Amino acid sequence: MSSRRRRTALLAVGSAVAAAALLTAPAVAVAAPGDPASPRYADGPEGAGDPYFPLAGNGGTDVLHYDLVLDYTPAPPEPAPLEGHLDGIATIDIVAMQDLDRFNLDLRGLTASSVVVNGLPVSFSQVDNELVISPRPKLKAGTQAQVVVTYVGTTIQPTDIEGALYGWVTTRDGAMVVSEPDGSATWFPSNDHPTDKATYSFEITVPEGLVAVANGLLTGSSTSDGKTTWTWDAPDPMAAYLATASVGDYVLNQYETPGGLPIIDAVDPSRPPSSSAALALTSDMIAFFEERFGPYPFVSYGAIVDDDSVGYALETQTRSFFSRNAREGTVAHELAHQWMGDQVSPYRWADIWLNEGWATYASWMWAEHRGGDTAQQSFDDVMAIPADDPDGFWDVIVADPSPLGLFVDPVYDRGAATLHALRLEIGDDAFFELAQTWVERFGGGTASTHDFIALAEEVSGQDLEAFFDAWVYTGEKPLSW
């Protein structure tokens, strides 16, 4: 769903008879242009319009809800290759945003065996990573439809354009499922762009003894015939890259914060005690960030700590994912993303510094709170990098780092330094009012660098054009602003 729309009940599926009657209507609009009663059915665009990932997401539809029923059998024991088997049924509630002859979903490395729209089987094709669906009857702008995609595939270890593991990453004891920026298509048919947030529910069946962990709240688990089905409900609108359904031999630890927020951690029993020590700070960290960013935005929180590694952590919504170890600074970083990145998500992937700069700055503030380096010291460390840094630290334009530069150090560290410099520029009161208004105003949706600058100017009453030019739009070390 886009922004804050509430989940609506599915419209009753039309009967086959009524649908067949509609099919006799002319398929192509022939009436005079501009006649609102004669829709011109067209193809929904094959991407959401993001210049960095032109095919990610789709145009012409708005997803309200994904209901994902998955049956997964992880890799058999040696010998390699490490592969699993995934059967899926995705029931997707969409709204047509234009009169649609065809529309797309993103699906990569998996094979759809049937697509049903409003109860009627329809024709479809798969071209590269696009699932192209021809709903019949065609969909009129503004109507809601239920799309059921049945699919199957062999799971592997997918990689992003930089070569980093992401998506449904098969492991010996399950799967690590972390999909930033466009990896959700490796495990379900999706509108894989943050501008189309939706609610989710999950029903994941795995061999008995394994635990499947998704977003939101655990609503049940039951075992029969050597298989366990885990059900989860994620009612907060969520970008596709933040969905997870990780599988492992996790131990679940469930409790509530003093404020009454349910926490569900899933930790591989072989993880080092330092992971548990850092996770034990979760309640304190939530209270600390609530003071700075406003109320925690979702129904639950928790961590997944796997014994395998994708090489990084990810702020999967309500349930951050950690590779091998959950270190305190990283635990603070991923938690802060729940406000900055998850509740307010990037409008375009070029806006990634708003995710990583805020999360990094949050971990600087947490370190200061814990008696470590102050935020000012962390800022000074960044400013100690020479203007002619041989690695080109200052060359990156953080508000446009290129598709291959989403996760480079300057996006994190110069991004965080930008926020500290802004705090010094506008003062603590305006800075934290900015942080909270940002989450209030754009929460549940997305926002851009342009939105951030406009809000900073609105809240502070200052002209910040020169400031942001120097800090986020220039590939040089800021020396004056």
Closest separation in Å from C-beta 179 to ligand TRP: 9
Nearest approach in angstroms of CB 411 to ligand TRP is 9
Nearer to ligand TRP, 102 or 333 (CB): 333
- Is-contact 360 407, C-beta < 8 A? no
Least distance (Å) from ligand TRP to the CB of residue 373? 19
Residue showing the smallest CB distance to Zn ion in the complex? 359
On the 0-12 / 13-18 / 19+ scale of CB atoms within 10 A, 16 is: exposed
Nearer to Zn ion (CB atom), residue 218 or residue 354: 354
Choose between 175 and 332: whose C-beta lies nearer to Zn ion: 332
Angle 370-372-374 from CA coordinates, rounded to 5°: 100
The strand pairing partners of 213, in sequence order, are 246
By beta-carbon proximity to ligand TRP, the closer residue of 304 and 314 is: 314
Q: Pick one of Zn ion, ligand TRP, none as the site partner of residue 180 (Cβ within 5 to 8 A by kind).
A: ligand TRP
When CB distances are held under 5 to 8 angstroms depending on the partner's kind, the choice from ligand TRP, Zn ion, none that residue 164 binds is: ligand TRP
Residues of this chain that bind Zn ion (CB under 5 A): 356, 359
Minimum distance between the CB of residue 241 and ligand TRP, rounded to whole angstroms?
9
Among residues 459, 418, 419, the alpha carbon closest in space to that of 436 is found at 459
Strand order in the sheet with 100-106: 42-43, 100-106, 130-134, 123-127
- Closest separation in Å from C-beta 18 to ligand TRP: 47
User: Which lies closer to Zn ion via its Cβ, residue 359 or residue 421?
Assistant: 359
Tokens linked to 247 = 């599988």
Residue 108: CB minimum distance to ligand TRP, A: 16
Q: Which is nearer to ligand TRP, 82 or 164 (CB)?
A: 164
Place of tokens 């995705």: 90
Token pair, residue 90, equals 């995705």
Closest approach of ligand TRP to the CB of residue 352, in Å: 8
Least distance from Zn ion to the Cβ atom of residue 408, Å: 12
Rank residues 112 and 350 by Cβ distance to Zn ion and give the closer one: 350
Point out which residues bind ligand TRP (CB under 6 A).
164, 180, 312-315, 333-334, 356, 407
Q: Which is nearer to ligand TRP, 112 or 313 (CB)?
A: 313
